[in-house]
Amino acid sequence: MKKIIKKFINIILRIKYNINNNCYIEENVKLLHTKLQKNIILSKGCNVVCSDIGCYTYLGEETYLPYCKIGKFCSIAPNVRLAAGLHPMTFISTHPVFYNQYKKAGNIEKTHIEFETLKKLEDSDNLLCEIGNDVWIATNALLVCGKAPLHIGNGAIIAAGAVVTKNVPPYAIVMGVPAKIVGYRFQEDIIKKINASEWWEKDEEWLNKNCHTFNDVNEFLKLFEL
C-alpha cells in the first residue's frame, strides 16, 4: 500500500512541476525555478530553488540547496545544506537593516552604507555553489558560501558533518569542522586522466558497454588510451 501511495505522490508532483524526464520526486519536496535533467531522485522534504541538477544525481531527505549548479552522477545524502550570506563583523551592528536596501522589517530610514562582500555575492549571477560531477556529499554536511560562490570539484568526497568553507579540488576527500583535505581518491596523474575523460558526458549506450571497467582504474583508462 505504501508503495502505491508513493507512486501516486510521485505522479502528482511530476504533473505539478511539469517534469517528464523519468525523475522521481517524493512528498513534501519544494521545487522552484529549477532545471532537472533525467533520472534524478529528490527525496522527501528536499528544498531546491533556482538550481540546475544533472542527470542521475540524487538528493537525500531534507536536503536544502538553493541557487546551485549540481553536476551529473552526484550522491548527496540527507540533511546536506547550503548556508549563504554574510553580515559585517566590524560595523556597530551586524543587522542588515543598516546596510541592506532590501530590508524586510523596521522603520529605520534607508541607509547608504555599502557592504562590499554582500555586493560581490549579489553580483555572482545568483549562483551560490557549483558542485561538479560524481561528487559524494555525506549526511549533515554544511556548505558555507562566503564572499564568492563555493566550488566543489569533480569526484570530490565530503565527509558526514563536515563544514565546507573553501573550494574543494577535484577528487579531494575533506572532513572536519572546518573541513580540511585529508587525502585524494587517486594520485595526481590519475586524477588528471579521469577528469580529461569526462566519462559523465558519455551516453547511456557507452556507459552500459563500459561500466564493467568502473571498478578498475587501469582498465577504465585503457578505454581512452590515456
Omega into 178 within 30° of 0, i.e. cis? Answer: yes
Selecting among 33, 87, 151, 212, the annotated active-site residue is 87
Q: How is residue 58 written as a grid cell?
A: 540524487
Place of cell 586524477: 191
> What gap in Å lies between CA 198 and CA 196, rounded to an integer?
5
Q: How is residue 99 written as a grid cell?
A: 546596510
Instruction: State how far the alpha carbon of 141 is from the alpha carbons of 29, 54, 64, in Å.
Output: 19, 20, 11
Active site annotation includes 95: no
- Reported in sequence order, the residue ranges of 67-147 that DSSP labels E, i.e. its strands, are 68-70, 75-76, 81-84, 129-131, 136-137, 142-145
Range list of H helices, the chain: 2-16, 116-122, 188-197, 204-210, 217-222
Residues catalogued as catalytic: 87
